[in-house]
């Protein structure tokens, strides 16, 4: 563990890693409780998995951009600390599994050598910023959204306003109206737009608010048809501040932004956001795009001579996997990564190939694939041969046969049945029995192992959700079939209808029934969704209902795909053992930490950060006393109101003003040095007063 201490050049990153190491030890010593420790480690990309005693590590890769050097570093880390498998997620991250908790700080330090972070990859924070994988090369894009996704990632990483929100917060940037980053399912979704005023072309975004999947999917609302690029970051900050203050914290199932927007209404929510303007340090924020506008550089290398043995297979691959870029003479190559899983030996070879013969950049995609960018036209045959050697030249990139699936019961605590196992079987059906779908990009099949929709099953044309079904005294793995979802474009989308629940082993037959029906009855030039709408939900329910029969099950039907033993439903296995300690003392301890953070930010002239740390200290301190009195603390706004009611109005605690005015100075005052110093002193005095009150109360028990 000592090795990384002198090797991390960035002191902020070094402090982060050492803090994780310290908190791991405090947790093991029983000095911080399990819930608080879980919150901290999740915000550092450390996630408990289904197997006891090991962790999943989520590596945060903004908009999926990865260089050769970074892919080598990730591969080295996976070999050293994990098992050499890399898993691409639907948020353009990479996950590695079976990592010892004690080794996570060291692992993180190794990644940071190539500017790779774990920070806020999980937890109740701003998750990885996703973007269209073709951003910057798309022939139809008005401009490259990559620098805006990058700026958003950098601005909100470690930003005090979004470190301990009630739930996670997801954002996406789509480069065109095709909306390939799926804006309508995000807390905030952005679609690139341009408009001309007085002969001047302006860049901006269509903005959508409050979308989400899960067990209760919600279509995001359009809040701006055109938001100027210079107010992108301030708008996001305003939304995050309101979510942090008013978002639910006690009831996890109701804590996403979509529920707050639904409860308040869009207009009322935006009014609250507008009132935050004075508190923002940046009323406008100019995103620097120059790094993304530099010429594409290549190594000077002779074009290798290759011979294509199977011209038919090569042409099929070119048709499905090669994309023309807006840059003249350049192409992107899509690599279909089966279930998003690939291994370090091949990852290193791919990294070398991309560095030497392309422009040293790949993008991980939302469909768990890899897109190699900036390949010269004359090098396409060579890439085909080299990718063949790696097993990466399979046709059907982003096709129906390119199925998206979460890890499910392989590693996830919440998985109910195997999503990867059934995905393998469905792809086999498509490749062997319906080869035409290798070039069909109209229908997307997505699978999740539970209702949480990490595999995005409930916005797919054809979706499958892992479930279980009781048959006599036994339980069998099952699938709920959903149909009719999809991306419509320009921020519009639709969610799938739930149809029937069937035993998992009948999953392949359900796909055959659907595709055979489409082949027989779909009209010429009719899309799949048009056909579904014409026939209607009841038609498809009747079509599939016979497969829900459980009276004909045989012993193998009680064994899930990819397993050898009878199915046992097991959800939410505890991540690790912990010691229950005083939550009130923990909150007060964290209030002290926030005050320290505020002092440090003030020394660096980060006035806005200092103010927000002081604000969070005030909230935590008040929350500690409310919990001691068994008062609900569901939201920060509720904590402020309740503390006034239970402690100030009753004269249990004295202040020169009411608590709302005391705390909400943050809304009224501009983020200046004078206010930052004053607010910090307020937080210190309040903490001192409440700590004394608490000690007296405890001593009298």
Q: State mean pLDDT over 175-201.
A: 97
The 10s digit of each residue's pLDDT in 158-169 is 999 999 899 999
The whole-number pLDDT of residue 542 equals 97
The 10s digit of each residue's pLDDT in 486-498 is 999 999 999 999 9
15 vs 5, more confident? 15
Question: CA geometry: angle at 102 spanning 107 and 15, to 5°?
Answer: 60
Q: State mean pLDDT over 410-431.
A: 85
Confidence of residue 580 (pLDDT cuts 50, 70, 90): very low
Q: State mean pLDDT over 462-483.
A: 92
- Measured CA to CA, the distance from residue 181 to residue 492 in angstroms comes to 12
Task: Report helix, strand or coil for 685.
Answer: helix
The whole-number pLDDT of residue 5 equals 52
The whole-number pLDDT of residue 574 equals 32
Cβ-Cβ contacts under 8 Å for 701 (sequence gap 6 or more): none
DSSP per residue, 397-417: TTSTTS-EE--GGGT-TT--S
The whole-number pLDDT of residue 36 equals 76
Torsion sign (Cα): 348, 353, 355, 359? negative
pLDDT at 2 over 70: no
The whole-number pLDDT of residue 490 equals 98
- Measured CA to CA, the distance from residue 475 to residue 10 in angstroms comes to 53
DSSP symbol at 648: I
Q: State mean pLDDT over 560-570.
A: 75
Tokens of 465: 């959700």
Q: Could you tell me what percentage of the chain is helix, strand and coil, using 3-state DSSP and rounding each to the nearest 5?
A: 45, 20, 35
Cβ contact 485:448 at 8 Å: no
The whole-number pLDDT of residue 410 equals 67
The whole-number pLDDT of residue 570 equals 55
The whole-number pLDDT of residue 569 equals 66
HSE of 44 in the Cβ direction (CA atoms, 13 Å)?
29
Confidence of residue 7 (pLDDT cuts 50, 70, 90): low
Among residues of the chain, what percentage have pLDDT more than 90?
80
The whole-number pLDDT of residue 1 equals 40
Lowest average pLDDT, out of 40-54, 269-283, 422-436, 575-589, goes to: 575-589
pLDDT at 600 over 70: yes
Start-to-end CA distance of the chain, whole Å, equals 43
Q: State mean pLDDT over 184-189.
A: 98
Confidence of residue 568 (pLDDT cuts 50, 70, 90): confident
pLDDT at 544 over 90: yes
Pairing of strands 370-376, 330-335: antiparallel
Cβ-Cβ contacts under 8 Å for 160 (sequence gap 6 or more): 597, 601, 609, 612, 613, 616
């Amino acid at each position: 563990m000592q090795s990384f201490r002198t090797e991390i050049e960035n002191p902020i990153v070094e402090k982060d890693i050492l803090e994780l190491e310290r908190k791991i030890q405090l947790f093991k010593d029983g000095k911080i409780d399990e819930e608080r420790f879980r919150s901290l480690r999740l915000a550092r990309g450390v996630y408990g998995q289904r197997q006891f005693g090991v962790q999943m590590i989520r590596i945060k890769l903004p908009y999926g951009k990865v260089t050769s050097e970074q892919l080598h570093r990730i591969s080295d880390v996976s070999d050293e600390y994990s098992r050499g498998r890399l898993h691409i997620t639907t948020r353009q991250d990479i996950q590695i599994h079976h990592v010892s908790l004690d080794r996570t700080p060291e692992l993180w330090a190794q990644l940071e050598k190539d500017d790779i972070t774990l920070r806020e990859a999980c937890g109740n924070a701003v998750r990885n910023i996703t973007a269209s994988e073709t951003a910057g090369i798309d022939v139809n894009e008005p401009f490259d959204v990559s620098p805006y996704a990058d700026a958003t990632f950098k601005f909100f990483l470690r930003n005090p306003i979004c470190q301990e929100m009630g739930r996670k917060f997801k954002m996406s940037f789509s480069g065109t109206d095709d909306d390939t980053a799926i804006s309508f399912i995000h807390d905030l979704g952005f679609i690139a737009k341009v408009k001309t005023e007085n002969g001047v072309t302006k860049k901006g975004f269509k903005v959508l608010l409050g979308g989400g999947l899960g067990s209760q999917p919600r279509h995001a609302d359009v809040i701006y048809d055109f938001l100027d690029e210079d107010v992108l970051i301030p708008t996001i900050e305003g939304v995050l501040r309101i979510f942090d203050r008013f978002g639910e914290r006690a009831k996890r199932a109701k804590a996403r932004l979509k529920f707050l927007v639904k409860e308040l209404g869009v207009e009322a929510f935006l009014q609250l956001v507008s009132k935050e303007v004075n508190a923002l340090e940046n009323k406008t924020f100019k995103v620097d795009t120059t790094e993304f506008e530099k010429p594409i550089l290549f190594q000077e290398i002779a074009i290798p001579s290759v011979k294509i043995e199977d011209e038919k297979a090569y042409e099929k691959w070119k048709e499905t996997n090669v994309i023309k870029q807006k840059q003249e003479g350049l192409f992107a190559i899509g690599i279909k990564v089966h279930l998003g899983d690939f291994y370090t030996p091949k990852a290193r070879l791919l990294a070398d190939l991309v560095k030497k013969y392309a422009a040293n950049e790949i993008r991980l995609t939302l469909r768990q694939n890899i897109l190699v960018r900036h390949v010269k036209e004359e090098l396409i045959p060579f890439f085909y041969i080299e990718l063949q050697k790696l097993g990466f030249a399979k046709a059907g990139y982003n096709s129906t046969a390119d199925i998206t699936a979460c890890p499910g019961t392989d590693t996830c605590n919440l998985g109910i049945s195997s999503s990867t196992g059934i995905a393998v079987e469905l792809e086999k059906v498509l490749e062997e029995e319906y080869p035409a779908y290798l070039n069909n990009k109209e229908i997307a099949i997505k699978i999740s192992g539970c209702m949480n929709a990490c595999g995005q099953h409930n916005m797919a044309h054809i979706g499958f959700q892992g479930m279980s079904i009781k048959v006599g005294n036994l339980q069998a793995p099952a699938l709920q079939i959903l149909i009719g979802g999809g991306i419509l474009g320009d921020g519009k989308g639709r969610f799938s209808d739930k149809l029937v629940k069937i035993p998992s082993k009948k999953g392949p037959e359900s796909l055959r029934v659907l595709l055979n029906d489409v082949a027989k009855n779909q009209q010429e030039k009719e899309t799949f969704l048009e056909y579904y709408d014409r026939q209607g939900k009841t038609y498809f329910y009747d079509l599939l209902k016979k497969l829900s029969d459980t009276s004909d099950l045989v012993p193998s039907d009680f064994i899930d795909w990819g397993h050898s033993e009878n199915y046992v439903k097991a959800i939410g296995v505890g991540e690790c053992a912990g010691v229950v300690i005083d939550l009130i003392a923990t909150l007060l301890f964290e209030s002290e930490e926030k005050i320290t953070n505020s002092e440090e930010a003030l020394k660096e002239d980060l006035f806005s950060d200092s103010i927000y740390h002081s604000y969070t200290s005030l909230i935590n301190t008040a929350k500690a006393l409310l919990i001691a009195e068994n008062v609900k603390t569901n939201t920060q706004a509720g904590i402020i109101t309740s503390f006034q009611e239970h402690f100030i109005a009753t004269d249990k605690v004295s202040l020169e003003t009411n608590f709302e005015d005391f705390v909400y100075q943050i809304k009224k005052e501009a983020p200046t040095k004078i206010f930052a110093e004053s607010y910090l002193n307020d937080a210190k005095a309040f903490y001192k007063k409440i700590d004394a009150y608490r000690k007296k109360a405890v001593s009298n028990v």
